[in-house]
Amino acid sequence: KTIFLSDYQAPAFTVSHTELHFELFDKHSLVHARLHFRRADGVSEDTPLQLNGQELELLALAVDGQKVASAHYELSDDFLRIDGLPQSGVLETSARIYPQSNTSLEGLYRSRGLFCTQCEAEGFRKITWFPDRPDVMSTYSVTIDADAGQCPELLSNGNLMHSEELAEGRHRAVWEDPHPKPSYLFALVAGDLQRVEDSFTTVGGRDVRLIILVEEKDLDKCAHAMDSLKRSMRWDEERFGREYDLDVFHIVAVDDFNMGAMENKSLNIFNTSCVLAAPDTTTDLGYQRIESIVAHEYFHNWSGNRVTCRDWFQLSLKEGFTVFRDAEFSADMGSRSLKRVEDAMTMRTLQFAEDAGPMAHPVRPASFIEISNFYTLTVYEKGAEVVRMIQTLLGEEDFRRGSDLYFERHDGQAVTCDDFIAAMEDVSGKDLTDFKRWYSQAGTPELSIRDSWDEEQGIYTLTVSQQTPASLGQSEKSPVVIPLAMGLLGEAGNLRIKLDGEMTDIESEDNTHRILIADKPTQTFRFTELPERPTPALLRGFSAPVRVDYPYSREQLLALVSRDDDDFVRWDAMQQLMVSALQELQENPEAALDPILETAVNAICSQILDPAVQADMLRLPSETYLSELASHAGKADVHGIFRARESLRKSLAKVFRERWASLFEGLRVTEPYAPTGEQIGSRALANVALDYLATADDQGVALARDYYFAADNLTNRLVALRAVLREGSAERGEELLEDFYQRFCGEALAMNHWLLVQAENSVGDSISRVRALMQHPAYDSRNPNKIRSLIGGFANGNAVQFHREDGAGYQLLGEVVEALNAQNPQIASRLLAPLTRWKNYAAGGDLMRAELQRLSELPSLSPDVYEVVNKSLA
């Protein structure tokens, strides 16, 4: 059933206070609820109270202490409807549920014995009957009873009010959350966990206890998350004026979790992979990810919890804004350029693909079948880019004032993206009506930019046209407001810019940087008083989530790589040089290495840059990105892309052998491992060099093998392992895999990586290997991290074998999705994504489509899988 944004209706009943009493047992649990309800003003008395509820056994139902007669209620698979209710009162229900057999990991479930919850978006209805929609906000009192031996820790949102011993070895805790919240922010945790404690004093003088709860074996892996949390709390005060509002803040780590983490009020629940960190089990990227996710969930306390969403179509209101906030935090903690380059990479590789695929949707979708399918790169990452563009258009100062006004005006409310925009308009006096098209229009806008040069007058003209491709249900698109940051590069550096005419634009201080506003189908910008014909440096800082088409010559790209002021532009120019070299190799496998590309590599190596950015510039564009580009231009030939990429890697490896060797030697980190920006940068660049060295010759493979054994951290170990698997003999590869397993088989998080490298290894018969690993004790077919590593890793990160000509890769994915459809629909539908892009491929598209067709005919498809399968077949 499709739900439409345009059908929104305010709730007929509110619930001001909710009392829950949980009795947790091994074989089942009981949930007793008391809802203090009130009929909303203007709602007629014959409107029934409609509560969501799924997989609940009704044991008792009463209103104001009186049992409800069967004539007055109706119970179905999804709802409980009660009529004849007074204007206000207390509705009491009792339900029996079965957390231990809940494999969907939604609602209340058990993970390695631990009771925990995941309610966003619509999981609360699997716990108790409730108007499970974010615009019904309620205070909560929660009583938890459980076995004291099994569950020494009993936690819920807010403050602990009371605890006591009960008969038969059981005990009780009572929690109260004074902040009204929607049901999706409810959380409960009960189990045997150990604590790491610290504290934080807010700017207003509130002492907050910070508690991270983990299994005993993981106690030594919490320091990084705790440190990240404290830095997030300080940063949000300083940058956004947001202070924490309770005396305690919990983070709980659980092994079985569908997503990364969840911002439940004062009781954040995290996937272990997004909170636990140790040098042996966490990569540098992992450390950075933990820092940003801890910050993200913490920042939700304001952008999401204090001010929440009216309905799920507004998801980006909290997610886009919060991703923007966490990106700014990461930029401030580490390198701003690096963060920007990596976010741009994600957008262009993955979000653009989503925007071009069958599940394309606007940042604020207009309809959905299953909301879980809309926790997407579009809602999160593109949503964050939209918020960033607002900041660009308003300037940082007004943006901050807009944010302050938004929080002040809507504290305690459930609001819409329009309310966010209105606050920004009100403080700045700017009209964002046209800008709002970013929220309603799906697809990636394409800027086509052409130029001309008047030598005599010194006038340079840019003609900027935009177009957004049609998508399902949106055939006609209008222009969007695109802040196009740019500069003009001359022989000796960036030129001063004089812009002619009454064009809207935002100017920088030093006059070498402009933000043009492209908001029409076509417009021209005239730059005057120029001493020479410039090279345009376009979309600096990735100022908008758009594709840019400008016919750069290789010489111009080299100039940008060598001399532009903006790291994104330089990185992008290098990518374009490599992409063009790869395209040439695809057409002509004998093509010689482009001398301009050679010069560019030399230029990058001899510059003083952030080494992590340098590493990104020297790395080949990913196969996924190349496929995305190819399918945008026509159809992708994944095998051709793979061969070209291997061949370019080989050439670069050999031609620059000496350079890689000296880079590698010069950058070796000798201090003990620390995830500092400095070390991470050095490692990144050294490891790019090592990877090329291993590609160059056997001596390099031997070096990688030694590097593997000498590693004191997972980053180096994995780089070496991957290089040996790709370039070395089968025996060498097996030796290291076996060693890795022996070292870390007790560490679930390291085993995720062990599965992932094997899934992504395209040498040999990957499919047999993946099938064998599915039977291996290190795998667990119920654990989302393991599924993502092995099956997701194979389908997304091993293109040549996933797209094997006999269709065995598609079949494998189809089988797993089929099994997961009943067990964990959210994971099943996410895993499906690579199959849905069948239209992108020159070969194999039909077989992919056939697998989707087969899935579509299965009996009892979950709404999650149903929606994705049907939209991709449409």
Catalytic machinery residues: 297
Q: Does 193 bind ligand ARG (CB under 6 A)?
A: no
In the complex, residue closest to ligand ARG by CB: 375
The smaller minimum CB distance to ligand ARG, of residues 636 and 827, is found at 827
Cβ of residue 263: shortest distance to ligand ARG, in angstroms?
6
Q: Which residue of 303, 372, 468, 789 would you call a contact of ligand ARG, by CB under 6 A?
A: 372
Query: What does the CA dihedral 357, 358, 361, 367 come to, rounded to 10 degrees?
Result: -170
Cβ of residue 319: shortest distance to ligand ARG, in angstroms?
6
Size of the site for ligand ARG (CB under 6 A): 14
| Calpha distance 203→240 (Å, rounded) | 12
- Three-class DSSP category at 631: helix
The smaller minimum CB distance to Zn ion, of residues 300 and 619, is found at 300
| Calpha distance 712→683 (Å, rounded) | 12
Name the binder of 89 from ligand ARG, Zn ion, none, CB < 5-8 A by kind: none
Q: What pairs with residue 271 in β-bridges?
A: 254
- Listed in sequence order, the residues at least 6 apart from 654 whose beta carbon sits closer than 8 Å to its beta carbon are 696, 697
For residues 772-831, which are near ligand ARG according to CB under 6 A? 826
The smaller minimum CB distance to Zn ion, of residues 322 and 801, is found at 322
Residue 265 has a CB neighbour count (10 Å cut-off) of 26
For residues 100-159, which are near ligand ARG according to CB under 6 A? 120-121
The smaller minimum CB distance to ligand ARG, of residues 263 and 564, is found at 263
Q: Which residue of 135, 215, 263, 291 would you call a contact of ligand ARG, by CB under 6 A?
A: 263
| Calpha distance 314→439 (Å, rounded) | 10
| Calpha distance 278→836 (Å, rounded) | 36
CB 372 within 8 A of CB 864: yes
* Residue 628: its H or E element: helix 623-633
Q: Return the exposure string of 751-783: e unless at least 16 CB atoms fall within 10 Å of the residue's CB, then b.
A: bbbbbbbbbbbbeeebbebbeebbeeebbbbeb
111 φ, ψ (degrees, to nearest 5): -125, 115
Q: Which residue of 127, 261, 269, 539 would you call a contact of ligand ARG, by CB under 6 A?
A: 261
The smaller minimum CB distance to ligand ARG, of residues 241 and 260, is found at 260
Question: In a 10 Å sphere around its CB, with 0-12 CB exposed, 13-18 middle and 19+ buried, how is residue 696 labelled?
Answer: buried
The window from 37-45, 259-267, 481-489, 610-618 that contacts ligand ARG (CB under 6 A) reads 259-267
Residue 409 has a CB neighbour count (10 Å cut-off) of 14
Displacement of CA 98 from its chain's centroid (Å): 31
Question: Which structure tokens are listed for 64?
Answer: 């104001």
The window from 257-265, 325-333, 747-755, 802-810 that contacts ligand ARG (CB under 6 A) reads 257-265
Q: Which residue of 20, 142, 214, 259 would you call a contact of ligand ARG, by CB under 6 A?
A: 259
Cβ of residue 374: shortest distance to ligand ARG, in angstroms?
8
The smaller minimum CB distance to ligand ARG, of residues 182 and 797, is found at 182
Q: Does 637 bind ligand ARG (CB under 6 A)?
A: no
- Three-class DSSP category at 464: strand
Nearest to 155 by CA among 273, 261, 249: 249
Size of the site for Zn ion (CB under 5 A): 2
Cβ of residue 185: shortest distance to Zn ion, in angstroms?
12
Each residue 512-551 as x (binds Zn ion by CB under 5 A) or -, in order, gives ----------------------------------------
Name the binder of 259 from Zn ion, ligand ARG, none, CB < 5-8 A by kind: ligand ARG
For residues 315-354, which are near ligand ARG according to CB under 6 A? 319
Radius of gyration of the chain (CA): 28
Name the binder of 128 from ligand ARG, Zn ion, none, CB < 5-8 A by kind: none
Q: Does 375 bind ligand ARG (CB under 6 A)?
A: yes
| Calpha distance 543→485 (Å, rounded) | 6
Cβ of residue 323: shortest distance to ligand ARG, in angstroms?
8
Question: Which structure tokens are listed for 727?
Answer: 């370039």
Tell how strand 459-467 and strand 88-97 pair up: unpaired
Question: Which structure tokens are listed for 184?
Answer: 């999706």
The smaller minimum CB distance to ligand ARG, of residues 218 and 297, is found at 297
Each residue 282-321 as x (binds Zn ion by CB under 5 A) or -, in order, gives -------------------------------------x--
Nearest to 137 by CA among 90, 176, 182: 182
**In this structure, what DSSP letter does residue 183 have?**
G
Name the binder of 372 from Zn ion, ligand ARG, none, CB < 5-8 A by kind: ligand ARG
The amino acid that residue 737 corresponds to is L
Question: Which structure tokens are listed for 2?
Answer: 């499709």
The smaller minimum CB distance to ligand ARG, of residues 228 and 713, is found at 228
Cβ of residue 296: shortest distance to ligand ARG, in angstroms?
6
Residues of this chain that interact with ligand ARG (CB under 6 A) are 120-121, 258-263, 296-297, 319, 372, 375, 826
Residues of this chain that interact with Zn ion (CB under 5 A) are 319, 322
